[in-house]
Amino acid sequence: MGGVSDADALAELAVRRGFYFGSAGAYGGVAGFYTFGPQGAALKRNVEEAWRETFTTRLGNEEIAGPTVMPEAVFEASGHLDGFDDMLVACAECGESHRADHLVEDATDVEDAESLPVPEIEDLVADHGIACPDCGTALAGRSVEEFNLMFETAIGPGDGEPGYLRPETAQAIFVEFPRLKEYARTQLPFGVTQIGPAYRNEISPRRGIVRTREFTQAELEQFVDPDDDDPPLETVADVELRLYPGAEQERDGGSYLTRTVREAVEEGVVESAWVAYFLGVAREWYDRIGVDGDRLRFRQHLAGERAHYASDCWDAESEVGGGVDAAALAADPTAGRWIEIAGFSDRGAYDLSKHAEHGDEPFTLFRQYDEPREVERTTVDPDMSVLGPEYGSRAADVAEALRALAERDPSAFDDGSVTVAVDGSPVTVASDVANVSVETVTEAGEHVRPHVVEPSFGVDRTVYTLLAHGYREDEVDGEPRTSLALSPTVAPTAVGVFPLVSNDEALVDLAESVARSLRAAGLSVTYDESGNIGRRYRRQDEVGTPLCVTVDHEGREGDGPVTVTVRDRDTTAQVRLPAEGLADRLAAVVDGDRTFAALREAGAAVE
């Protein structure tokens, strides 16, 4: 593997063959918004479906679909309203806006400028004489503004209520936890997934579909018992991971650690067993959809990158720069151009706590004890005939304060008197007026706030990775050829079907019936009868179709069964096979149960 990819050649192919292109080109385009053409939309759907199969169905989770527009209160709670900012500096001369932290990182040896306060960034811009990258005017003295990356809108008539396009799909899951736990029959652990659009009003969208303003996320929120739950680690214990821990990133000449999931947990390289488990599941999934393992790594967030609530966080990164071979990439983690394609983080109780604080629900779950427990509970029954005359209209509040205190700190009533605060003033009451009693009650369980472990995937970047890793230029019969070595799992078309010529009715009929039988077997088929056969192969090669079936005269000659030829995209090798039973044989190759080489041994090779 490890083909050479060229970003420009890939972008050209993407537009020409309908994978993706900048939207609204007839109106000059709008940066950061892309349209997936027929091929790209199919590839993207197949990636989503493969993700669903693994992260929803196979792991036994449930998928929901929430709205993309959500009210302000949700993002007040989540912290996005205050904290989801980029630092922006606008040039006085040309008016262009830039990420101030990026300018500082480029001009200085500061590595994580985003974490610095604004005044410090302003000073760094001035001290290092940083200039506008567009027009060269000095930016010293320009104010750096915090720019919120959420798209804002207004919901409802008139001026409406503020609403925002969700910056991540996750919030549409967290905020519905009170219902989702019911659907999971209030049993931990349970996982909820969502695949859908998310939005970030990036200041400088760039690199095609790698950094866009509207993108698709596939997220799993795994709700786990903070005390009890372990992941089913054994299912992925032996999966090997290429890990790039924080310590290795910070060490001069640091290198990758290759560990199985089990080793990574046992050695503490990955702190959270749940995170390690999902790294293993992800590694197998990337394999299945055709990500090149030599160009994939799991990189731990450095302390400065990590959200304050995340106790451990790793990114999946893919290498998409090309031009560096597998051995060199393995030897030097700083070689190549890597992009983040997924994040795995242990978010603790942060999200549900925040929503409990801001919302009207407790965001907890009732966890049954294995056996009911007897607990002593202190209750008070204040004597209102005493409190009434003494505190008048405040008597009820005093009684309430005593009840709350009994729940919070029963031992406070051990002395002769207790003091509670009512409307901010201390009130002291004799203990016996409170009528303290201790009863033994049976409790079936307790309310707990689940922790959340989140694997979060960028679908567009995954698609980009598959194209970059699959891109090939070679020669066939002395002619240059471009092809995409896409996995049959995700290729837009599984099988191309052609009659050798389009003016022979018998061949056309037969080809059409082959196409029908393959479709009936669940394979995605493209039927093509236009242009010479070589050109049709090239068309399918360019969109990554793994197999092509050609119906020719030879296959209908003689008394034997009708045969067709099947061609393999990557080797261009061909084999002649009976038309009968073809669907099952090709489905086996597409499903990965059989190789093309095995198919070739079973049939008559075609030279």
Tell which positions 204-223 bind its own copies, by CB under 8 A.
213-214
**Contact, 299 vs 343, CB < 8 A?**
no
Select from 102-110, 169-177, 377-385, 577-585 the region that touches its own copies (CB under 8 A). Answer: 169-177
Query: Minimum CB separation from its own copies for residue 95, in Å?
Result: 9
CA separation for the pair 492, 47 (Å, rounded): 10
Minimum Å gap between C-beta 548 and its own copies is 18
Binding residues for its own copies restricted to 96-115, rule: CB under 8 A: 97
Output 54 or 435, the one with its CB closest to its own copies: 54
The DSSP call for residue 168 is S
- Residue 584 has which token pair? 């099952």
| Window 363 to 422, contacts with its own copies (CB under 8 A) | 363
The minimum distance between CB 269 and its own copies, in angstroms, equals: 34
- Indicate the DSSP class of residue 111: S
Question: Among 360, 414, 423, 475, which residue sits at the site for its own copies (rule: CB under 8 A)?
Answer: 360
Does residue number 522 form part of the binding site for its own copies (CB under 8 A)? yes
DSSP 143: P
Within 68-97, the residues that bind its own copies by CB under 8 A are 68-71, 73-74, 88, 90, 97
Q: Which residue has the tokens 């060229």?
A: 6
Contact code string over 124-163 relative to its own copies, x by CB under 8 A: -----------------------x---xxxxxxxx-xx-x
b/e burial code for range 151-180 (CB count within 10 A of at least 16 → b): beeeeeeeeeeebbbbbbbbbbbbbbbbeb
**Residue span binding its own copies (CB under 8 A) among the ranges 57-65, 106-114, 327-335, 548-556:** 57-65
Rg of the chain, C-alpha, whole Å: 31
Instruction: Answer yes or no whether residue 234 interacts with its own copies by CB under 8 A.
Output: no
Query: C-beta of 271: minimal distance to its own copies in Å?
Result: 31
CB 422, CB 401: distance < 8 Å: yes
- 473, 481 in Cβ contact below 8 A? yes
Of 6, 85, 93, 176, the residue at the interface with its own copies (CB under 8 A) is 176
From residue 480 to residue 519, what is the string marking binding to its own copies with x (rule CB under 8 A)?
A: ---------------------------------------x
Rank residues 135 and 597 by Cβ distance to its own copies and give the closer one: 135
Is the separation of the CB atoms in 50 and 491 below 8 Å? no
- The reply to whether 66 sits near its own copies by the rule CB under 8 A is yes
Does position 12 interact with its own copies (CB under 8 A)? The reply is no
What residues between 271 and 290 interact with its own copies by CB under 8 A?
A: none
The 3-state secondary structure of 217-251 reads EEEEEEEECCCCCCCCHHHCCCCEEEEECHHHHHC
Give the whole-angstrom CA distance, residue 397 versus residue 388: 11
Find the binder of its own copies among 259, 301, 355, 569 (CB under 8 A). Answer: 355
Q: Total number of residues binding its own copies (CB under 8 A)?
A: 75
- Residue 584 CB, nearest distance to its own copies (Å)? 14
Stretch that binds its own copies, among 244-252, 358-366, 367-375, 440-448 (CB under 8 A): 358-366
Residue (334 or 503) nearer to its own copies, CB = 503
Question: Cα–Cα distances in Å, from 424 out to 207, 387, 401, 419?
Answer: 58, 18, 11, 12
CB of residue 73 vs its own copies: minimum separation in angstroms? Answer: 4
Q: Is the Cβ–Cβ distance between 260 and 205 less than 8 Å?
A: no
According to CB under 8 A, which one of 1, 4, 12, 25 is a site residue for its own copies? 25
Residues 548 and 545: their CA atoms lie apart, in Å, by: 7
Distance CA 541, CA 533 (A): 12
**Separation CA 372–CA 313 (nearest Å):** 37
- Strand pairing category for 417-422 and 425-430: antiparallel
- Nearest-approach distance from CB 265 to its own copies, in angstroms: 27
Of 542, 584, 583, 548, nearest to 566 by C-alpha is 548
